[in-house]
Amino acid sequence: MKNNITNIILALFSIFLSLFIAEALARIIIEPRSSPIGHGILHQKFQLANVTVNSEGYRDGEFSDKKKNVPNIVFIGDSFTFGHGVLNNKVFPSRVRDNLFPKYETYNLGICGSNSLDQLKTLESKLSFLNGDLNIIVHQYLGNDIDYMAEINIMPSYGIINNFLIWLSDNSYLADYIYQPYLINMVIDENLDKIYRAYDEKMSDHLMDVEKIWNMIHKNKSLILFVIFPIYIDGFSLQKSRELYVNRLIEHFLKTCQEGDGVINVLKLIEQHPMVMNRNYWVANRIDPHPSAELHQLVANEVINYIKSKPGNFMRCKNRLQ
């Protein structure tokens, strides 16, 4: 009996020691990475090292320090505009500012998890703050911006075991690295189904909500640059993006836009690129489908081309490719 107890204690000690060593090695070897659902210790470490925000929570410098009496470029959108998963200076609004400052001042109003109604409220609250000095508002759009469907960062309940594993991944590099991909697949699959259904059921109402954003911009006597991204989980999600919202929203935009407005179809940019088939080139990391630094650069280039009126893969309101 004593031998059995001793063996059990030794086995448990060996397991504990092995896990301790494995965790220690994981903390040395595994690099922090972003997670699209915003959970896990690796994501927390990535955020601490690579993401800074101003006093209002925007990924930008203090608005009170911005240069006055110059044309402004204001970016509104969700986590793609915020720059989830990439370094501060790699986000496309930051790249645009680096190229155009001091002739233009920029404001990044991207908010992770926001939908079109949220972005309308953000824009409304900031127009007065910016004193109506806007020239161009870059409206970034993604498929989960359909009203009340931007739920990719909301954690569903998956029972006691998964909740324990979620807690464990918030504290252990090893557990996070192993479990996070499985958790993300569950969350993304569930939310993609909701998004796809929403476009089938609510597209007409949603178009009116998006149009409210464009009307507010025009009322402010500003130009719109509409930047529309596909959902890039796999090839199927790209095709669904095209069918469900990319083509339909661009068509609607071109019917309502005013002279000087523009649109950038990011799906088209991807499809025209030599790396089109290499998903890892376009995403922040293998578990995070947010845009990579390379895709942010590609979009920034097109925004700059539009503003400088240089040839590029954007479309002016007159339906002619520039």
pLDDT at residue number 153? 44
User: Phi-psi region for residue 293, left (φ > 0), alpha (ψ -120 to 50) or beta?
Assistant: alpha
Look up tokens 């503003």; give the residue: 307
Could you give the CA distance from residue 40 to residue 290 in angstroms, rounded to a whole number? Answer: 16
Cβ neighbours of 9 (radius 10 Å):
10
For position 159, what pLDDT does the model report?
A: 75
> Distance (Å, rounded) from C-alpha 82 to C-alpha 113?
10
Tens of pLDDT, residue by residue over 219-251, are 988 999 999 999 999 999 999 999 999 999 999
For 237, phi and psi rounded to 5 degrees? Answer: -65, -35
Extract the residue ranges of the chain whose pLDDT is less than 50. Answer: 150-153, 319-322
| SS3 call for 281 | helix
**CA atoms of 81 and 111, how far apart (whole Å):** 7
Identify the pLDDT of residue 162.
81
First to last CA, the chain: 84
Which tokens is 117 given?
């109604």
* pLDDT at residue 2, rounded to an integer: 62
Q: Report d(CA 121, CA 124) in Å as an integer.
A: 5
Q: Which of the 8 DSSP states describes residue 202?
A: H
Query: In this structure, what DSSP letter does residue 31 have?
Result: P
Q: Note the pLDDT of residue 1.
A: 64
3-state SS assignment for residue 106: strand
- Per-residue pLDDT, 284: 98
Residue 290 phi/psi, 5-degree rounding, is: -65, 160
Which residues, listed in sequence order, are joined to residue 139 by a DSSP beta bridge? 76, 226
Q: How many alpha carbons fall within 13 Å on the CB side of residue 230?
A: 25
pTM value is 0.92
Amino acid 30: pLDDT = 96
Residues 106/72, Cβ–Cβ less than 8 Å: yes
